Structure 1
């Protein structure tokens, strides 16, 4: 299910003024006139969990800013086997500029709000705004750094450290409105136990066992199997092997 609404207006769009992607994401690189021009071609979407956003080998004709929620990125083998290779949060930019076809699958892991715009519009603005191109490059380099860190997590950390590192990543990224210096966090797990196991290269039983251990040690509190409260992020970090 997708709900659309027009986001443009005569001046700087109201949605853009309060949008996290406007201030911290790529749109923050645009001047008011450029922002209005982009907004005139944009639409806001709310996508339900499980809906595919981008298909592997699909022709790229639009890009999006993630406004809220979590997007799951996956790669598939020819025999149908699939691997979760990353997660995206607000205000990440969803899509790969200058690619004719997508090389990855993107799926809404939770209910996701997106602001989408045509490929031609954003690529035209990239030519006009070096700062926009710089922000896109910076996000790409950040994703590369995160991928390298995750390779270390998957290759060298223990099962306990992997699960703790995953929870720490979610706590720090799932809600863009939370102060980055916050000492505690409360959130719903965006992935099922099976998806967490796939992402971490563990079994479902191992993931459940490690979550239980963290709960028994008082590091986390779990309600209704998905709702987590972490009273001390520093304590969680110490368990992550960072």
Structure 2
């Protein structure tokens, strides 16, 4: 059941609350609106010709999804958790410079995330892929709440299978690599859906990145 909450402070209007595992739109649907995550997590994915699923992204608070250069959505989108979603018609961008600026800034970050994903997927080490995934989630949190990453808790509401499909690994490999990163003291795993970043620079090095 969806619940609507009025909130127009960012130009996107009413927040619609969707339960977890609820489709927002399907691959091939007409792309007439752009969506913003107000709370929760949304997963975007593409169904391939051989019926396999390729997860293309996890969208968290403040991020946009549903952008398409074509008339139809190339991906589908579904909530991972209960999520508050706002949307605006694509036609509204023609008359609202503020919205255009928001979308432009997001698009630049999306390009950066896509480039980082490409580098992640070309890494031969499964440990580096999982480390890079955690770094990506931590970086998103840091954009919102400050520069200190050590001790930061990162939410992992998606399943291990979802992470595996995103990184091109098996579910068992993802679980093993998370436990290995924990044994190295780089992260803590207080519960299934949380990772605590203990040594951010070490995690970045494990991911094949330069320390910040």
- TM class by shorter chain equals 0.7 to 0.9
Aligned to 1:141, the other structure's residue is in SS state helix
Q: Pick from 168, 192, 197: which aligns with 2:135?
A: 168
| 1:43–1:98 CA distance, 2 compared to 1 (3 A) | farther
Aligned to 2:145, the other structure's residue is in SS state coil
- How many residues align? The count is 209
The CA deviation at 1:178 is: 2.2
Question: Are the aligned partners of 2:138 and 2:149 in contact in 1 as well (CA < 8 Å)?
Answer: no
Instruction: Give the distance between the partners of 1:78 and 1:142, measured in 2 at CA.
Output: 29
Task: Give the structure 2 partner of residue 186 of structure 1.
Answer: 153
Structure 2 residue 76 is matched with structure 1 residue 109: no
Task: Give the structure 1 partner of residue 177 of structure 2.
Answer: 210
Instruction: Give the distance between the partners of 1:164 and 1:95, measured in 2 at CA.
Output: 27
Task: Give the structure 2 partner of residue 28 of structure 1.
Answer: none
Task: Give the structure 2 partner of residue 12 of structure 1.
Answer: none
Instruction: Give the distance between the partners of 2:62 and 2:3, measured in 1 at CA.
Output: 19
Instruction: Give the distance between the partners of 2:146 and 2:21, measured in 1 at CA.
Output: 29
Question: Are the aligned partners of 1:68 and 1:90 in contact in 2 as well (CA < 8 Å)?
Answer: yes
Structure 1 residue runs without a partner (length 5+): 9-15, 17-21, 23-37
Structure 2 length normalisation: TM-score?
Answer: 0.86
The CA deviation at 1:152 is: 1.4
Residue deviations 1:49-108, cap 9 Å, x none?
211112111123332221122221111123432100122222122222674321111111
| 1:98–1:199 CA distance, 2 compared to 1 (3 A) | closer
Instruction: Give the distance between the partners of 2:193 and 2:61, measured in 1 at CA.
Output: 20
Question: Are the aligned partners of 2:80 and 2:157 in contact in 1 as well (CA < 8 Å)?
Answer: yes
Structure 2 residue 42 is matched with structure 1 residue 71: yes
The CA deviation at 1:123 is: 3.6
CA RMSD of aligned residues (A): 2.3
Aligned to 1:202, the other structure's residue is in SS state coil
Task: Give the structure 1 partner of residue 200 of structure 2.
Answer: 233
The CA deviation at 1:176 is: 6.1
Instruction: Give the distance between the partners of 2:46 and 2:137, measured in 1 at CA.
Output: 21
Instruction: Give the distance between the partners of 1:124 and 1:210, measured in 2 at CA.
Output: 48
The CA deviation at 1:159 is: 0.7
Task: Give the structure 1 partner of residue 56 of structure 2.
Answer: 85
| 1:89–1:180 CA distance, 2 compared to 1 (3 A) | farther
Residue deviations 1:19-40, cap 9 Å, x none?
xxx4xxxxxxxxxxxxxxx56x
| 1:141–1:227 CA distance, 2 compared to 1 (3 A) | closer
Question: Are the aligned partners of 1:197 and 1:204 in contact in 2 as well (CA < 8 Å)?
Answer: yes
| 1:48–1:123 CA distance, 2 compared to 1 (3 A) | farther
Deviates more, 1:188-197 or 1:98-107: 98-107
Question: Are the aligned partners of 2:37 and 2:62 in contact in 1 as well (CA < 8 Å)?
Answer: yes
State the structure with more CA Rg: 1
